[in-house]
């Protein structure tokens, strides 16, 4: 920890590396008390160590907290100064007695309390959920910022190929068509804020970042949602899909239920139609790869059916629900996404895409009519044209915030008892 009470009652904060003399002087003023639980603490310092206070081994803090690394200490200190410099009321390592928790930083902004947690070590989802819930119970919002060193990514410019595991998936917040997350690197004093996340598989994700220095970023601009998908991102996603169609048979096994099903129907992955496996808004709510869940729908609803076939709404809901029950389609558990409770939103988003791209006709009574045969292998040149059409369409789909907000309302109503309303 970076704060401790001195015997004089003064709250002392370590704000930087200290000289040997300063460390000596500070040691003279022991004992140090934990500002949260008031137990005695040690001052740890050395030539290679960032000075900090720590609880004695046999007396751990009764307020929940994380093991401290240098990266974490430097990060929360940098964030604390950054907030203070903007005139924001901030308390470092604030103990919150009513919930027995200690926030890395607690700020008060426009009369509201916000806990800022700079999370550098993986914690189980249950612990995360418990902490978030107790903050909410105390009327405190919480902003989780990921330690950048936890982010495994390869990148060109601002577009990153990121591997997001179940821990990293706890960070995205916001209720838009795509969530957003913030990572911070104390080594370079740089924020990485995602402006769009397009998941490709349970872990593999294409993320576009806005990268900004600590000094040129304000807290207000950091937490404001500012989302957009770029055409290069969609193209890259579709390119990954083409690669998958070409090469996935190499690692396909019969133990994998998806490949087994394709195999039994004599469909190689390359024959999956262009319209199955499309990056649609809200797809992050499903952990299963969009290539898979959309292909399952294609198999259950459209495969081998001629144009003109009528498909009822309840049939669509049923096949999707069956796949969920069977475990073929798995939902994603995010940290803080209220609409995550409705698994039909991404399904509705995909149906909307199919209607708007001319594959389905939607009727007022909630029925759909198949407008074309889903062509497995397109003629030369056709594939390219379809892809370009799709990129254009998806770009406008994502950028229309009104459509995206409506998807939730309409999607919920549609699967209750409404029409697609397009
Ligand atoms: Zn303590």
CA of 14 to the centre of ligand 1 (A): 16
Q: Reduce the DSSP state of residue 337 to 3 states and report it.
A: coil
Q: Which residue has the tokens 């309302």?
A: 409
Ligand 1 mean position, distance from CA 23 (Å): 21
Q: Are 63 and 35 in contact (CB under 8 A)?
A: no
Q: φ, ψ for residue 184 (rounded to 5)?
A: -135, 135
| Structure confidence by residue, pLDDT tens digits, 176-229 | 678 889 999 999 999 999 988 999 999 999 999 999 999 999 999 998 877 788
- 186 CA distance to ligand 1 centroid (A)? 24
What is the 33 CA–ligand 1 centroid distance (Å)?
A: 8
Ligand 1 geometric centre to CA of 32 (Å): 11
Tokens 């949260």 -> residue:
36
What spacing in Å lies between the alpha carbon of 37 and ligand 1's midpoint? Answer: 4
- Please give the Cα distance from 350 to 280 (Å, whole number): 6
The per-residue pLDDT for 104 is 94
Separation of CA 207 and ligand 1 centre (Å):
38
Residue 188 Cα to ligand 1 middle (Å) = 30
Measured on CA atoms in the order 32, 38, 44, 50, is the torsion positive or negative?
A: negative
202, 268, 336, 339, 340 from 332: Cα distances, Å:
9, 27, 12, 11, 8
Ligand 1 centre distance from Cα of residue 65 (Å):
9
pLDDT, residue 339, reads 43
Residue 365 Cα, ligand 1 centroid: separation in angstroms?
A: 62
Angstrom distance (rounded) from CA 179 to CA 346: 13
Ligand 1 center from residue 34 Cα (angstroms): 5
410 with 348: CB under 8 angstroms? yes
CA of 77 relative to ligand 1 center, distance in Å = 18
pLDDT (tens digit per residue) in 27-51 = 998 899 998 888 999 999 877 788 9
Cα 39 to ligand 1 centroid, rounded to whole Å: 6
Question: Cα of 81 to ligand 1 centre, how many Å?
Answer: 22
Whether the CB-CB separation of 147 and 120 falls below 8 Å is answered with yes
- Is the pTM of the predicted complex or chain greater than 0.75? yes
Helix (H) or strand (E) holding 183: strand 182-185
Cα of 142 vs centre of ligand 1, distance in Å, is: 21
Query: pLDDT of 148-191, one tens digit each?
Result: 998 888 877 788 899 999 889 888 887 667 888 999 999 999 99
């Amino acid at each position: 920890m970076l704060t401790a009470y001195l015997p004089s009652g003064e709250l002392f904060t370590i704000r930087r590396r200290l000289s040997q003399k300063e460390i000596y002087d500070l040691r003279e003023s022991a004992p140090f008390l934990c500002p949260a639980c008031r137990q005695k603490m040690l001052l740890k310092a050395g030539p290679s160590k960032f000075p900090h206070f720590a609880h004695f081994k046999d007396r751990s803090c009764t307020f929940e907290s994380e093991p401290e690394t240098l990266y974490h200490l430097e990060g929360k200190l940098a964030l604390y100064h950054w907030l203070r410099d903007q005139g924001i009321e901030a308390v470092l390592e604030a103990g919150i007695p009513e919930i027995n928790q200690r926030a890395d930083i607690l700020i008060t902004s426009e009369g509201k309390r916000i806990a800022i947690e700079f999370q550098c070590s993986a914690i189980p989802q249950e612990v995360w959920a418990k902490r978030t819930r107790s903050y909410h119970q105390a009327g405190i919002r919480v902003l989780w910022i990921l330690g950048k060193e936890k982010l495994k990514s390869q990148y060109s410019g601002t577009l990153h190929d990121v591997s997001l595991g179940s821990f990293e998936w706890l960070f995205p917040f916001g209720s838009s068509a795509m969530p957003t997350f913030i990572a911070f690197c104390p080594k370079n004093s740089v924020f990485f804020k995602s402006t769009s996340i397009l998941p490709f598989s349970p872990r593999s994700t294409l993320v576009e970042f806005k990268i900004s220095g600590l000094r040129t970023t304000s807290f207000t601009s950091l937490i404001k949602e500012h989302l957009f998908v770029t055409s290069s991102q969609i193209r890259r996603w579709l390119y990954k899909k083409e690669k998958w169609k070409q090469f996935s048979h190499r690692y396909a096994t019969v133990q994998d239920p998806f490949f087994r099903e394709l195999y039994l129907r004599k469909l190689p992955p390359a024959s999956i139609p262009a319209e199955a496996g499309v990056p649609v808004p809200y797809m992050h709510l499903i952990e299963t790869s969009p290539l898979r869940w959309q292909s399952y729908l294609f198999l259950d609803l459209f495969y081998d059916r001629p144009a003109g076939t009528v498909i009822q709404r309840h049939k669509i809901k049923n096949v999707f629900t069956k796949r969920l029950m069977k475990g073929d389609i798995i939902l994603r558990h995010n940290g803080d996404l209220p609409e995550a409770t409705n698994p039909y939103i991404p399904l509705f988003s995909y149906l909307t895409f199919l209607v708007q791209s001319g594959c389905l006709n939607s009727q007022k009574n909630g029925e759909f009519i198949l407008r074309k045969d889903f062509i497995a292998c397109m003629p030369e040149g056709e594939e390219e044209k379809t892809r370009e059409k799709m990129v254009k369409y998806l770009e406008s789909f994502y950028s229309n915030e009104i459509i995206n907000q409506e998807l939730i309302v309409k999607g919920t109503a549609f699967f209750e008892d409404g029409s697609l309303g397009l």
